């Protein structure tokens, strides 16, 4: 399972990278705004800064909603750095743009996916990644994890190569459950990743090992 961090915060990206378990980064316009990164030039520079910290794929989202605009923007984003993945919304022109980029060998991430049908279309269009938003489904009393299972089933039926990127992860248990269901990638906040470390028996056990070692010193 690949681990992506879902943030535009450079300190958090560095912390996850330093841990040695980071495979990539996802961002979106809201995450950029949260870090105070606004204006096209600043946003483009920020993508390059992120690429210079991590080794893996970095999703950069287009804001156009028409095919020509998405292609124009996506090509400019792809030119920024070879780690950039073009993030496209799951709308009709987004599917067309996904097909356009995948035919050219440019990586894509189809985002804002909330149903198995949308995920099927993304795979048909050759998406590298599909991003089902599990937390936002949970927010509206719909089981987000169930969607991960449905997409896994459909993709396995036809050996689609599109990777399921479980997004809108909110906490550590989401990561565990997505791993059980066979999501290829998860993207979540640093807190959800660091939560995987924690177990009180680890802390108690380590404390005792150190205390016992120190008895002889
Ligand atoms: O990866 C998608 C993510 O940024 C959305 O997360 O918590 O705003 O639903 P959230």
Tell me: pLDDT of 217 over 80: no
Alpha-carbon separation of residue 170 from 48, 55, 159, 177, 210 (angstroms): 26, 24, 29, 12, 34
Q: pTM score, two decimals?
A: 0.96
What spacing in Å lies between the alpha carbon of 215 and ligand 1's midpoint?
Answer: 49
Average per-residue pLDDT for the chain: 97
Q: Give the pLDDT mean for 52-58.
A: 96
Closest CA to ligand 1's atom 3: 168
Q: In the chain, what percentage of residues exceed pLDDT 90? A: 99
pLDDT single digits (tens) 160-213: 999 999 999 999 999 999 999 999 999 999 999 999 999 999 999 999 999 999
Tell which atom from ligand 1 comes closest to the C-alpha of 26: 1
State in Å: Cα 133 to ligand 1 middle.
7
Going by alpha carbons, the residue nearest to atom 2 of ligand 1 is 168
Which whole number is the average pLDDT over 120-133? 98
| CA atoms of 167 and 131, how far apart (whole Å) | 6
Distance in Å, CA 126 to ligand 1 centroid: 23
Which residues lie with the beta carbon below 6 Å from any ligand 1 atom? 6, 26, 28, 31, 133, 135-136, 167-168, 170, 187
Catalytic residue among 87, 92, 99, 107: 87
Per-residue model confidence as pLDDT tens digits over 7-40: 999 999 999 999 999 999 999 999 999 999 999 9
Q: Are 188 and 13 in contact (CB under 8 A)?
A: no
- What would the 3-class secondary structure string for the chain be? CEEEEECCCHHHHHHHHHHCCCCEEECCHHHHHHCCCCCHHHHHHHHHHHHHHCCCEEEEECCCCCHHHHHHHHHHHHHHCCCEEEEEECCHHHHHHHHHHHHCCCCEEEEEECCHHHHHHHHHCCCCEEEEEHHHHHHCCCCHHHHHHHHHHHHHHHCCCCEEEEECCCCHHHHHHHHHHCCCEEEECHHHHHHHHCCHHHHHHHHHHHHHHHHCC
The secondary structure of residue 111, as a DSSP letter, is E
Answer yes or no: 92 catalytic.
no
Whether residue 159 has pLDDT greater than 80: yes
DSSP classification of residue 91: S
Mean pLDDT computed over 31-60 = 96
Residue 13 CA to ligand 1 centre (angstroms): 16
* pLDDT greater than 80 at residue 143: yes
Q: Which ligand 1 atom sits nearest the alpha carbon of residue 27?
A: 4
Taking the centre of ligand 1 as the mean of its atom positions, its distance from the CA of residue 205, in whole angstroms, is 36
Radius of gyration of the chain (CA): 19
Helix or strand (DSSP H, E) at 105:
none
Minimum CA distance residue for ligand 1 atom 4: 168
Q: Which atom of ligand 1 is nearest to the CA of 139?
A: 9
Per-residue pLDDT, 61: 97
Residues 127/160/185/117 CA torsion (nearest 10 deg): 70
For ligand 1, atom 10, name the residue with the nearest CA: 168
Report the C-alpha gap between 193 and 197 in whole angstroms: 8
């Amino acid at each position: 399972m690949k681990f992506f961090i879902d943030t535009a915060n450079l300190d958090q990206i560095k912390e996850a990278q330093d841990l040695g378990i980071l495979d990539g980064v996802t961002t979106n316009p809201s995450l950029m705004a949260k870090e105070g990164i606004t204006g096209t030039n600043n946003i483009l520079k920020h993508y390059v800064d992120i690429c210079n910290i991590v080794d893996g794929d970095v999703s950069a989202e287009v804001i156009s909603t028409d095919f020509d605009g998405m292609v124009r923007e996506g090509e400019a984003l792809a030119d920024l750095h070879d780690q950039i993945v073009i993030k496209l919304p799951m709308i009709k022109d987004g599917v067309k743009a996904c097909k356009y980029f995948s035919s050219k060998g440019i990586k894509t991430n189809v985002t804002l996916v909330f149903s198995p049908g949308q995920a099927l279309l993304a795979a048909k269009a050759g998406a590298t990644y599909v991003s089902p938003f599990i937390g936002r489904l949970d927010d509206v009393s719909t089981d987000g994890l169930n969607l991960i299972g449905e997409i896994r089933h459909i993709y396995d039926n036809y050996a689609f190569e599109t990777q399921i990127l479980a997004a809108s992860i909110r906490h550590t248990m989401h990561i565990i459950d997505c791993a059980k269901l066979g999501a290829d990638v998860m993207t979540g906040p640093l807190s959800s990743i660091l939560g995987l470390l924690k177990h009180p028996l680890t802390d108690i056990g380590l404390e005792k090992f150190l205390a016992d070692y120190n008895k002889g010193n």
